[in-house]
Structure 1
Amino acid sequence: MRIMHRNAVKRSNEGARIIATATMGVAVGFFIGISLSSLHLTKISLLSNVENSFEVGSSGNVNPEALGSVSLFKIYVPSNPRGAELLPPGIIVSESDLYLRRLWGDPSEDLEKKPKYLVTFTVGYDQRHNINAAVNKFSDDFAILLFHYDGRTSEWDQYEWSKNAIHVSVMKQTKWWYAKRFLHPDIVSAFEYIFIWDEDLGVEHFNPDEFINIIKKHGLEISQPGLEPNNGLTWEMTKRRGDSEVHMVTEEKPGWCSDPHLPPCAAFVEIMAPVFSREAWRCVWHMIQNDLVHGWGLDFSLRRCVEPAHEKIGVVDSQWIVHQVIPSLGLQGEADNGQEPWDAVRTRCRNEWAEFQARMNDADKSYIEGLNNYRKG
């Protein structure tokens, strides 16, 4: 009898637990159902708001009030460009270009042809005839950009090509000052090659299209046309040779080259008329110092941006130019410490060269020390 009583009590307790569990399950299911329904309705409402906000009327206008009232979901994409982490990747345009566009019509129809190369000259109006002769050498595959150091821009409209050129005017600045500020690699990435040239170059014997073909043929990432041997020559490396199409090495004065593969015997062009591939320019731009505006010493460090430098940097002999040695930039200077304007400019050039080399040496030293510390750690 006792055994039967205990079994009955046990069955009664189990039944109560089953009923309680079932009741709790129904309650939990009810609340989950309500939550999911609410979430689903919220999503529908959000999507509806987004869709409605981008409705365009028959006139092609977007309702600005609707755009401002949209509740957006949270976005954070760490791999986006710095500062753009809150944007959906599909809307990001991280590079630009220098193509001129219309103010009307379909944007896809703005450009009849996209220039493949960019040519920049840093100019004063006094050299307009020389620049006109140079620009007329370049086909419509080349975009033209003039940096004006004398503030005179409208007068250039006497030339038809000037109306389609890009003009940037800032008083008394050098081409490397302009290049650092207006030729960011993400701005000129549409161009395969970038010419950064002085204004006093004679181009009678220069064919730009043929020059491009030659540097592509020889795989030159940094190059320049050969210089007429009898005019304004400083380095043997950049002297035109009459018996070759290109050259990449030379012999200099005794003691000038510690290594035949290093500047100025190889891996070297001058800063008066360099031509950079898109990839090489991305590196070189980062090496230009904001405050060292003359660029002296830069030519000896260009080799850091291509490998192997003695094979990727060269001079094109069959397409050559004449350096006319017009001291126009010096005339933009001012007397300093008893020096004439031109002498004051030259003094700063030499000082900048020494400063650039010191900074490069310090950067190398810092990098090596950091690398050694990392290996020790």
Structure 2
Amino acid sequence: MFLAVLLALFGLLGYAVMRYYRYVARYPKGPTPLPFIGNHGELDFMQQHVGFERLSKEFDGVCTVFTPSPIVHIRDIELIKEAFIQNGDDYVGRPQNKVFELFAFTHNGGVINSIGDNWREQRRAALSIMRDFGMGKNVQETLVQSAMIDLLEHLDEMKDKTSVDLHWPIQVMVVNVINEIMFGYRHTYKDSGELLKFLFVRIFENKLIFLGISVPFLADLPFIGWRVLQFVVDNVERALDTYSTNDEPTCFAQAYKQRMITNHALDEPNLYACSADFFLAGVETTMTSLRWAMFIMAKHQTTQDRLRREIHSVVGTNRLPSLNDQTSLPFTRVCVHEVQRFANILSNNVFKETGHKIPSGTMVNADIHHVMALDPLFVDPKEFRPERYLSEDGKTLRKDLIERTIPFSIGN
């Protein structure tokens, strides 16, 4: 009897393994996954680019990595453009995962991880509101310049300038630009403290979040600590506390609340979700890019001196740079591109879903890291050389390299 049960169990296991590899065969070829757990053990989710690079290097531009959920991994720039630009409508989906819902406040909420009609409505409303508050216009530029003046004044007030840690001042400066647009107020450098520190440490240093994407039931465990977006809720409530929809809105939260009256696709959960999307995405990427710029320029003094000379010759020392100056600052522009390429702060951006030639609902990832760090057009990519982006005339930017500098991916 025992032997019969054992044989039956082995038979069922063998059948399950066979079914699993039939399932694997539906996807583009990739590193052979272990039954049921996939390639999960071969990935370091705190350094995703390292694992993806190792697992995908033997395959021609595209492969599937099982985490254990399948992720179609695209590392060739031409294939990325074909998928996300030429066939962009086939890749507008977003994974509907329980972990992502923790950041979206609701199923299919916000602008980053939503899909279908709700994505279109939230994106349309959010972009319209952002344009009203000066996105891409002088109003936004003035806001950035004002926050920069606050930062310079804070640094000037420091008594001990022999050892200055720019991490926190840069963080507050970036938060203030976005905070004023989203919620209508700024933090001061003296009292911004614990809440913001809590926000960034708890969200962006939690390793278990990546495991939860593949094992969604972990999101229900109380000790995981993902439910830290109370910060966003508090700020939205602060912005709306004394606001009447009859008044002229002064920030994103108020403008969204006002539009909820006439647009039934807009509601409170999506207000929180959109606010979280813009705040978290904008703050983390900008803050990290600026900190990397500081480190890189400190190490490359010759480049820093050349950059300073160009800015002083065009802008002078009595005002801040503006967008109107950029055509006269070619070396400054290529320094920005090279910092983003060299720092390479995102190994991938938002995962997408598709039903085009691969099973519907499959997550698709563009390997941003590989394109900017290993594309053959970037000669000696491990060297920091902003001038690589300049044409022979020393003024025109090389289009072929610019289109490969995709720090935030491409497409919708």
Question: Which TM-score applies when normalising by structure 2?
Answer: 0.24
Query: Relative contact order: is structure 1 or structure 2 higher (C-alpha 8 Å, sep ≥ 6)?
Result: 2
- Structure 1 or 2, whichever has the larger Rg, is 1
